[in-house]
A and B are shown apart, each in its own frame.
Chain A
Amino acid sequence: MKERILNAIGIGLLSICFVVALGRILWPKERGSTGEDVVTIRIAHWQLESGVREAINAMAREYEKLHPDVRIQQIPIPERIYPNWLITQLIGGTAPDIIQIGMGSTEERIARFFVPITELVEQPNPYNKGTELEKVPMLNTFFDGMQGGYQETLLEYYSVPLSGTSIRVYYNLALLKEITGSAKLPTSYRDFIDLCKATVAFAKANNRTIVPIAGSKYNGPLLMNALFASQTQKLMDQLSPTGTLIADTTLTMEWLAQNKWSPNSPEVLSGLTLMREVSEFLQPGFMQLQRDDATFYFVQGRSLMICSGSWDSTSIRSQSPFAVGVGRIPFPTPDDPEFGPFTKGRISEAGAVSAVSFGLTRSSENPAIAQDFLLFLGSQPANRVWTNVSRWIPAVVGVEPHPDAAPFQPLMDGYAPGFPLPNQANQPDSARIYNTNINDLFGPEGSPQKFANRLLEGNLEAQKSDLARLIRTTSMNSKRRDTVVAALAVQRVKDPGDAKLDEKLDEALQSIAFIERGYYLNKAALRATETALAKP
């Protein structure tokens, strides 16, 4: 009898759990629920840094004041699992109404699962009414023309950005005062190095464990790569005297294969020397540390400085028990005795593109309301709330950044950066050669020449693999365009008066020509690389 009762309880519990689980899958409450005459719109993102969730909540509450019948629900997802979460949600048809586009968002996923908003953003934003942007097409109300929301290969705008970004050096002002007697930030490269040396001397004299710069495999390269690019500015001009003044990854790969430059070029060795000089002031073994480790170092007062993006500003400030100063990365000037010969000067940030952009999913059950909320997010009043709460850089023109965000505003006065090493341009195999050998640049046994030799050994093979991959990717992109442009071409002939169609076809043809040019440039670079490899 006792056994029967226990069995019955067990089966009962199991049945209840099963029914509840089944119910939650089949009838999820939160998906566009219309209970109590309230529509819920869900918005998901991966920005777990301090300030962002609060800012989105604040914008959501502002929207809800205007629309009491709408409720906005925020869904923050950790960065590490965001791509997997995104794919699962999109394919499963359970995606939130609005999703941050970026990580895990490949071109075909965007085309398949997100709604293009080009027609929407070509009109003025109704939420800009009463401002100077009232009659301005929405895409022109962003500092970069809404480039952050544009999908180049799909020829459409798919998302609305909220923020700008930049990279800076953060300083522990209290510690700075202790070391130097003042809170004045270094403005030149030599002052920066002198400050690092002073920090080392201070730590030794006071028997304290302090390093000048908190580093990790994330933070260290941010600083060092930026400094490296200052050493190839003049080289780029020499290699491409009538180019478009922008470093092109494929062209630099082709030049490498043609031996127009190499890891042994004086400019590159100078860049590596610069990186090594700075690395001596990061904590030993920094390349095995994670981003969080470096942040903890800094906020725990174990380092004077840390290099990171504007996206970490609020987190760092909120976790630091001391005042935090923010300064630009101090690039060597042309009159620097050691690094001056190869640099033109400080690097412009004018090319920065807006970020933290949100798109509308096709599976939204309330697309009109979700779209409306998206318009609100991209408006000047909402962006004001964004910068004031998150303390991140605003993306909309005419919005004054919060005083904490002001130091991060991109600075226009500067020269175009030189080219990075191809490995720094995120080509997987070149990056692998770079990342797995960079320890040869640092430490007691490391040197620029040793690292350069490693690159010489492995670069061309890695480059060959990367170019082959780039060719496959551009070929696939181009092939996808073939069918789309055929559709546009046929429709345009059938409906000759449609100006919108004309515009689309025109853009498609230009885009294809651009992609094809990239494809053939990659092929030329690959051929040059194979020729170089075939040489004894």
Chain B
Amino acid sequence: MNLATSSIDYINNVKNGIITAEEFVAKTLEQISKHDKNLHAFISINENALDQARQIDRKIKSKEKVGAFYGMPISVKDNICVKGGKTTCASKMLQDFVAPYDATVISKLKSQDATIIGKTNLDEFAMGVATEFSAFGPSRNPWNQEYVPGGSSGGSAVSISALECVLSLGSDTGGSVRNPASFCSVVGLKPTYGLVSRYGLVSYANTIEQIGPMGRKVEDTALLLNHIAGKDPNDNTSIDNGSQDYLEGIDAGIQGKKIGIIKEMSKGEGLDKNVESSFWRAASVFEKLGAKVDEVSLDMVSYTIAAYYVLVSAEAGSNLARYDNIRYGYDFDSEGYEFNSYVSKARKNFGPEVTRRMILGGFVPSAGFAGKYLLKALKVKSKLTKEIQEAFKKFDFLISPTVPILPFKFGEKINDPLAMYLADTNTATANLTNVPAISVPFEIHNGLPIGIQIHANILQEKQLLQAAYALQSTTNIPGVPL
């Protein structure tokens, strides 16, 4: 029984009685107890996972109808609500918060007999690129434990990479699925805005964020997307995708497709030389696969980090206003306090990055400054959207390195927020323009992973996954050195 199994092999093996869900889940829990002390991918583990797996085995034995996942262990970022368990957002403010309901993605997974194996670590409220802002301590990169795993869905990426689950759900506001996917050499997809319901995802910047599937292989993320996508009455931004099957025809190839290299993301200052050369090798691989590759310019990309951080701070400032120590969080009695001073004192529980975003979030939309910051950011978003739509008239896919830099060491950027923000340079565009984008593991340089990012137009996930699969089929990445 191989923990490095693909999701499809797992399903076939359980279906055909070669392994049981219980055996696999037990072995996964063993792997977690062996490695997670060091890696810290998980904030909490589902104590009932083995029982749930046993129940699924019973259903299989008695020939009852079994859901598509056959008890497969799936990890979930700890900003997605799973009923009855803690959803902490890696924040002291929510360390005792028990979710009263399941997120729509969780109801869907449960109804298909997935085993939610545990909740994964993240930067506090999903703000960060390294998990260093988790109130419960960072996760470590399984490729080299002195390095960050990326973020904010770092725990999800680590749990997949370290064989502590088969699939994982992350969330992506400006790259939080794709960045850790790239840093940990796994696959991560940010779907079209609205393709996956956000009901039960703790809001941070809700006009651009999406829950995204992560896995070791492209086909794993396609399978997971099959079961989480679609219209949800509880999220009125969600889209009906006609129950599309993203797995079917995934090996169609990209012969004759047109691919644009986004110039502003693929050369110049800020781009690590090793990442750059790896990326250009990927570009030539696409050519060998029969695609036509050319360069394309998106002028607004130079302004995306400023625009993105203005927008998310403004949204975070209002979304996080609910953490007042009365409805959420509780660490001291209100006796003797006046309302404002009580809330202000409670918010000392926020870590440094959330505090910065709260202050920025008060600043950028305020009278006197909104014209300079917020309105300009919204205009950049509009213009960037037009530019990318223009590019998609000529190209089927747009590519870039996922992250302009290699994974970095702990502490390297923690006191320089701006340097950290720049790690999102290549990923924020997909969020600002609503299009899907995926990170595919491509090479390992000096023991550190490099991922390639592919964008497709809105609701073109099927084609996007085909392109990602084609690229994946040319790679030869060694096993993780655990």
Pairing of A with B: no
**Interface residues, chain B, with chain A CB atoms under 8 Å away:** none
